[in-house]
A and B are shown apart, each in its own frame.
Chain A
Amino acid sequence: MRYALLVLGGPYSHQAAHSALRFAHAAIARGHRVETVFFYHDGVYNASHLSAPPQDEPHLVDAWSELRRTHGTALQVCVAAALRRGLLDAREAERHGKSGASLEPPFELTGLGQLLDISQTHERLITFAP
């Protein structure tokens, strides 16, 4: 089965992102593919490159990046939801006159239209929300 996940919860403050990540690993372990994770609403905070949790806690941003590296999962972030929450890649940071970027590859900014596209091109789209 080709899965896509929609993550609506921010890291640490809610379980949604942790559950989504655990689901992704469980699905992959069963031989399925998790091709795309789309971050929307407070879920966009999962893409913050500046996230620095204590070392004895799971590092969610790194965990998502690792999912991309080992399984090729695309990490897509809604640009409108991201910008209003201070998550900008280098291009957006320059466009808005900000001193630094807070979002870096493998996360990519994209539009809500992409989420609709995902729902049509994957066999399942599962929402993880607080």
Chain B
Amino acid sequence: MSEVSETPHGDLLVILRHAPHGSLWLREALDLALVGAAFGQSVSLLLMGDGVWALLQGQGSGPLGQKGTQSTFEMLEMYDIERLYIDIDALEARGLTRDDLLLPVIEVPAPALSAVLAGHRQIVNF
């Protein structure tokens, strides 16, 4: 995990604000990110609010029969989606630490969030 070291940039920023499993928000947001990457766009993700739960380790399929999101997140690198920004205040507010997360992320303190938004040509907020 690292802090924002280079200027955030990319074609498409997909913002994840919802926890996994209870709704389709996360799944359909990731679908858009994967399609964007498949179309050759430079895609980044930003996890904010309850969206930070999405990166907890061990998100397999559950009793509801939904597909687990861990496998999707593990595919991100294959699609060249390598910039995962996380709102560090949201992570800490939920009692989570970097060690709980599935993938390496770029920590973004609140004052730096605007730079992440400004660095992307298109933003879609889920």
Contact = CB atoms under 8 A, between A and B. Distances in A.
Nearest to B125: A127
Nearest to A40: B28
B39 A113 contact: yes
Interface in A22-44: 40-42
B15 to A, nearest CB: 9
B39 A41 contact: no
Nearest to B122: A119
B126 A8 contact: yes
A7 to B, nearest CB: 12
B24 interface: yes
A41 B26 CA distance: 10
Interface string B108-126: 0000000000000011111
B25 A41 contact: yes
A113 B24 contact: no
Chain B contact residues: over half helix, strand or loop, or mixed?
mixed
B75 interface: no
Nearest to A6: B124
Nearest to B36: A116
Contacts of B1: none
Interface residues of A, number: 16
B122 A112 contact: no
A40 B122 CA distance: 16
Nearest to A85: B24
Contacts of B32: 40, 112, 115-116
A47 interface: no
5 contacts: A41-B126, A42-B24, A113-B39, A127-B125, A129-B125
Given A41-B28, A81-B28, A116-B39, 13 more contacts: A6-B124, A40-B28, A41-B24, A41-B25, A42-B24, A111-B35, A112-B32, A112-B35, A116-B41, A127-B123, A127-B124, A129-B125, A129-B126
Interface of B: 12, 24-25, 28, 31-32, 35-36, 39, 41, 122-126
Interface of A: 6, 8, 40-42, 80-81, 111-113, 115-116, 119, 125, 127, 129
